[in-house]
Amino acid sequence: MTRFNAWNVLKNGFINQTGWQRQWRDPVLKKEYDVVIVGAGLHGLATAYYLAKNHKINNIAVLEKGWLGGGNAGRNTTIVRSNYMMPGNHEFYEHSLKLWENLSHELNYNVMFSQRAHVNLFHSPAARDSNARRYNTMLLHNTDAEFWNLKKLKKTIPHLNYGPNARFPIMGAAVQKRAGTARHDAVAWGYARAADSLGVDIIQNCEVNGFVRRANNIDIIETSRGQIKAKKVGFAVAGNTSRLWQMAGLDSLPIESHKLQAFVTEPLKPILDQVVVFGVGGAHFYISQSDKGGLVFGGDLDWYKSYAQRGNLPIVQDVAEAALSILPCLGRVRLLRHWSGIMDMTMDGSFFICKTPIDNLYLNAGWNYGGFKTTPASGWHFADLIANNRPNKIINNHDLKRFEKGVNIDERGAGPDPKLHG
Amino acid sequence: MIRIKCPYCGDRDHSEFTYGGDGSIVYPELDASVEDWTNAIFFRKNIYGIQTETWQHVHGCRLWLKIKRSTITHEIESIEPAHKEIIKMVKNK
């Protein structure tokens, strides 16, 4: 793999860019692997990378039904933040943010991580108080957090609707300055390239069709490209976790698949330097501007269970209404695309990185709305679990037994209704 | 938009309804084990295909419906009232 650095850029300028190599190989499927990860999305690729890098396991395959990064990796709004409060979650998300801060160097790939601040607007004293509680908890755990008053907010983000006619006048904002956005494709490609250079086989167009179990293990994985023996198997297929789970002969999960839409407008000149979040009176809206200039935004789930990767129109209307109530200046901006991805919505809004009833099967699932930001930590901790066959302290309660044990990790306090954990 | 043919109000947009979730859950007896209750409340088949679910016609008759719908295509297979006895009570009044 040719490294990206100033010297190579300069050199290739002289030799007509012929000195670059393929970013990753298209390897032939081997008969046997130490670890097989199902799903070459962000989490699967990151897991393979950290298994090879941190745990020196090199005989790894990542199987992908379509092309790498073609599922939810390419369907998110690329927000990265760590404003979580519950034990287990705040350590995990903060660890993720720290990994993001060095990710471009670590992968030798520019993931365009931009710490542009995450601005969470509030519109009532109650919302201010609950934000104060959350952001104070973050400060106690050495995560950066601050409050902006109206004066500072108006100066920093002048285009929001501060007018006297606003249905929900803005009172201020809770802000995490180290939060921001990254380039989603670059993250997938960066991890794929780095994992591949450590010897990981990324097998695209290889669908898993079944499992042969022996005793309490998965012995053989049946794929569209033949059979593979695997010593350990990891699932990282959020959205379709239940389907694969049942293919492995297991039963139910605390997960429902719901779809979430996202939108992007035509490119505009710089208008919004931060990630802005608006949530009041049943509305939910988050927006940022990509480096290309498009405004990237999203809202709520489509409210009913679905595996269809296409959104419904009532939500398009809801999101457009929220957009105009908070940023009226967008009234004449045209929508370029909108799309939908399938979320693993869980019963308490938190994820699973855990062992399973099958001895050599490990589960990475249940990312709700928030899988993108967790990519580095998800891969890091899932690799740690697979390599050491035990959960570490941080993810100790992120297992399937937490409901029975009564240690639900419910950030919102919304209860066991997956669609409410947005 | 999904069109839902409410047995009382007729063919309507799904935006008139709220989604209730899995309609196939059978809750155990009150003194059943923690495991049984955990399974009923927290664990789902998450069916890929036709599933039974509940919807409430909140902007219409406000009654609950039991609907069989595909989670892949959103096509509806059947619709019936969730509590038939309520209708009988209303009609007999």
pLDDT digits (tens, 9 = 90+) for A264-277: 999 999 999 999 99
Q: Does B19 touch chain A (CB under 8 A)?
A: yes
Q: Do A308 and B72 touch (CB under 8 A)?
A: yes
| pLDDT > 70 fraction of chain B, expressed in percent and rounded | 99
Mean pLDDT of B47-75: 96
| Residue to test with chain A: of B2, B42, B48, most A Cβ within 10 A | B42
Give the Cβ contact number of residue A313 at 10 Å. Answer: 11
Please give the mean pLDDT across all residues of chain A: 96
Inter-residue contact A193 to A62 (CB < 8 Å): no
What is residue A134's three-state secondary structure? helix
Residue pLDDT, tens place only, A68-86 = 999 999 999 999 999 999 9
Q: Is B51 on the interface with A (CB under 8 A)?
A: yes
For residue A328, CA distances in Å to A151, A304, A323 come to 19, 29, 7
Query: B20 vs chain A: nearest CA distance in angstroms?
Result: 8
Identify the pLDDT of residue A187: 98
Strands B50-56 and B18-22 come out as antiparallel
Average pLDDT of A143-169? 94
Say which of B38, B51, B71 has its CB closest to residue A404: B38
Name the B residues in 55-84 with CB < 8 Å from any A CB: 71-74
- The Cα of A7 is separated from the nearest Cα of chain B by a number of Å equal to 51
B14/A312 CB distance under 8 A:
yes
How far apart are the C-alpha atoms of A394 and A404, rounded to whole Å?
19
Task: Kindly report the nearest CA distance between residue A283 and chain B, in angstroms.
Answer: 15
pLDDT digits (tens, 9 = 90+) for A159-212: 999 988 888 899 999 999 999 999 999 999 999 999 999 999 999 999 999 999
Ramachandran category for residue B21: left, alpha or beta (phi over 0 → left; psi -120 to 50 → alpha): left
Chain A residue with CA closest to B42: the answer is A254
Mean pLDDT throughout A255-263? 96
Would the pLDDT of A388 be above 90? yes
> How many contacts does A have with B, using Cβ atoms within 8 A?
72
Residues 6+ apart with CB under 8 A from A82: A90, A93, A94, A96, A97, A138, A143, A176, A178, A179, A373
Query: What residues in B contact A253, CB-CB < 8 Å?
Result: 43-44, 46
Q: Strand, helix or coil at A277?
A: strand
CB contact under 8 A, A252 and B45: yes
Q: Across the interface, do A314 and B14 touch by the CB < 8 Å criterion?
A: yes
CA distance A344 to A312: 18
Nearest to A93 by CA among A174, A3, A176: A176
pLDDT given at position A53: 98
- Do B71 and A416 count as a contact with CB atoms less than 8 A apart? no
Q: Above pLDDT 70, what percent of chain A? A: 100
Q: What is the mean pLDDT of residues A203-224?
A: 96
Q: How confident is the model at residue B85 (pLDDT cuts 50, 70, 90)?
A: confident
Q: Reply yes or no on whether the pLDDT at B93 is more than 70.
A: no
Residue given tokens 């009232």 in the structure block: B81
What is the C-alpha to C-alpha distance for residues A343 and A241, in angstroms, rounded to an integer? 10
The string of pLDDT tens digits covering residues A2-32 is 899 999 999 999 999 999 999 999 999 999 9
CB-CB under 8 Å, A255 with B71: no
Kindly identify which residue of chain B lies nearest to residue A401, measuring between CA atoms.
B38
Residue from the list A255, A314, A418 with its beta carbon closest to the beta carbon of B1: A314
pLDDT of residue B88: 78
Q: What average pLDDT does range A135-144 have in this prediction?
A: 96
Contacts A409 to B, Cβ<8 Å:
none
Residue A289 pairs in a beta bridge with: A295
Mutate which: A242, A307, A312, A345, vs B, most B CBs within 10 A: A307
- Decide if B71 and A305 are in contact by the 8 Å CB cutoff: yes
Q: What is the mean pLDDT of residues A219-228?
A: 96
pLDDT band at A345 (very low <50, low <70, confident <90, very high): very high
Q: Spell out which residues of chain B touch residue A347, defining contact as CB-CB under 8 Å.
A: 41-42
Residue A301 at interface with chain B, using a CB cutoff of 8 Å:
no
Closest partner residue to A403 (CB to CB) among B42, B51, B73 is B42
- Domain over B3-26+37-92 is classified CATH 3.40.50.880: no
In Å, the largest CA–CA distance within chain B is 43
Contact list, B58 vs chain A (CB under 8 Å): none
Query: Is pLDDT at B90 greater than 80 in this prediction?
Result: no
ipTM: 0.93
